[in-house]
Structure 1
Amino acid sequence: MDRYQLTRRVAILGIIANVVLLIIKLIIGFVSRSQAMIADGFNSAGDVFASAMTYAGNKIASQPEDENHPYGHEKAEYIFSMIISFSLLLVAYKILRSSLDALIQREQFTFSWWLAGIAIFTIALKLVLYIYTRNAGRREDNLLILANSEDHRNDVFVTSSTLLGIILGSQGIFWLDGMVGIGISLWIAYTGFRIFSSSYYVLMDTNIDEKLKSDIISAIQSINGVDHVDDVAAKPIGLRYIIIVKVSVSGDMTVREGHSIAAQIKEKVKVFKHAKDVLVHVNPA
Structure 2
Amino acid sequence: MDRTAKVTFVTLVGSIVNIILTVFKIIAGVLGRSTAMIADGIHSLSDLLSDIVVIVFVKISAKGRDKDHDYGHGKFETFATLIISLMLIVVAANLMSGGISKIRLILSGVEVSSPGMIALWAAVASIVLKEILYHYTIIQGKALNSPMMIANAWHHRSDAFSSIGSLLGIAGAIFLGEKFVILDPITGCIISIFILVMAVKMSVPAIKELLDVSLPDEIEQQIETTAKSIPGVIDLHELKTRREGPGIIMEGHLVLNSHISLKAAHDISKKVEGALRKRFGSETQISLHLEPEDDSE
**Fold-level similarity (TM above 0.5):** yes
> How many matched pairs?
285
What do the CA deviations read for 1:90-134 (whole angstroms, capped 9, x no partner)?
A: 111111011011111106234312111211221222122123223
Deviation of the 1:51 alpha carbon: 0.9
Post-superposition offset of 1:160: 1.4
Match of 1:33, SS state, is coil
What is the CA–CA distance in structure 2 between the aligned matches of 1:28 and 1:252, rounded to whole Å?
A: 77
- Match runs of 1:222-261 below 5 Å: 222-251=229-258, 255-261=262-268
**Structure 1 residue ranges without an equivalent (≥5):** none
Give, in whole Å, the separation in 1 of the partners of 2:64 and 2:258: 40
SS of the counterpart of 1:72?
A: coil
Once the two structures are TM-superposed, the CA of residue 16 in structure 1 deviates from its matched residue by 2.0
Q: 214-223 or 3-12, which moves further after superposition?
A: 214-223
Cα deviation, residue 249, structure 1: 3.7
Pair 1:159-2:167 in alignment: no
Superposed displacement of residue 80, structure 1: 1.3
Tell me, in whole angstroms, the C-alpha distance in 2 between the residues paired with 1:77 and 1:182: 30
- Corresponding residue for residue 40 of structure 1: 40
Match of residue 288 from structure 2 = 280
Q: Distance in 1 between matches of 2:167 and 2:230?
A: 61
Instruction: Name the stretch that deviates more: 76-85 or 228-237.
Output: 228-237
**In the superposition, relative to structure 1, how do residues 37 and 245 fare at CA in structure 2: closer, same or farther (>3 Å)?**
same
AA aligned opposite 2:55 = Y
Cα distance in 1, alignment partners of residues 139 and 255 from structure 2 = 44
Match of 2:173 among 159, 169, 172: 169
Distance 2:87 2:153 in 1: 18
The equivalent residue for 1:85 is 85
Provide, for residues 209-242 of structure 1, a one-character-per-residue CA deviation record: whole Å limited to 9, x for no partner: 2223222212322344444332222132211112
Q: Distance in 1 between matches of 2:232 and 2:138?
A: 45
Report the aligned-residue RMSD.
2.2
Q: How much does 1:137 deviate?
A: 2.9
Q: Alpha-carbon deviation of 1:187? A: 0.9
Q: Which runs of 5+ in 2 are unaligned?
A: none
Larger deviation, residues 262-271 vs 171-180: 262-271
Partner Cα distance (1:264, 1:194) in 2 = 37
**CA 1:132–1:262: 2 relative to 1, 3 Å:** closer
**Alpha-carbon contact 1:81-1:196 (below 8 Å) kept:** yes
Letter in 2 for 1:116: L
TM-score by length of structure 1 reads 0.90
For residues 251 and 64 of structure 1, the distance between their equivalents in structure 2, rounded to whole angstroms, comes to 36
TM-score (norm 2): 0.87
Distance 1:229 1:131 in 2: 39
Would you say the 8 A contact 1:25–1:118 is kept in 2?
Answer: yes
**One-letter code aligned to 1:200:** I
- Shift of the 36–218 alpha-carbon distance from structure 1 to 2, 3 Å rule, reads same
Q: Is the 8 A contact 1:232 1:246 kept in 2?
A: yes
Check if 1:29 corresponds to 2:29.
Answer: yes
Tell me the residue number matched to 1:208. Answer: 215
CA distance in 1, matches of 2:284, 2:132: 34
Q: Give the CA deviation at 1:254.
A: 5.4
d(CA) in 2 for partners of 1:242 and 1:45?
Answer: 35
Distance 2:136 2:261 in 1: 56
Q: Which residue of 1 aligns with 2:67?
A: 67
Q: Relative to structure 2, which stretch is displaced further, 203-212 or 245-254?
A: 245-254
Equivalent AA in structure 2 for residue 216 of structure 1? I
User: Is residue 262–residue 281 contact of structure 1 (8 Å, CA) maintained in 2?
Assistant: no
Q: Distance in 2 between matches of 1:126 and 1:257?
A: 55
| Larger CA deviation: 104-113 vs 159-168 | 104-113
* Displacement of 1:278: 1.3
Write out the 4+ residue segments of structure 1 that deviate beyond 4 Å after TM superposition. Answer: 250-258
TM-superposition CA deviations, 1:159-185 (whole Å, max 9, x none): 011011111101221111111001110
State the partner residue of 2:199.
192
Q: Distance in 2 between matches of 1:90 and 1:165?
A: 22
Find the aligned partners of 1:161 and 1:222 in 2 and give their Cα distance.
Answer: 51
Which amino acid letter does the alignment assign opposite residue 80 of structure 2? F
User: How far is 1:77 from its partner?
Assistant: 0.8
Q: Could you tell me which residue of structure 2 aligns to residue 134 of structure 1?
A: 138
After TM superposition, the structure 1 stretch with the greater mean CA deviation from structure 2, 143-152 or 1-10, is: 143-152
> How many Å separate the matches in 2 of 1:278 and 1:251?
22
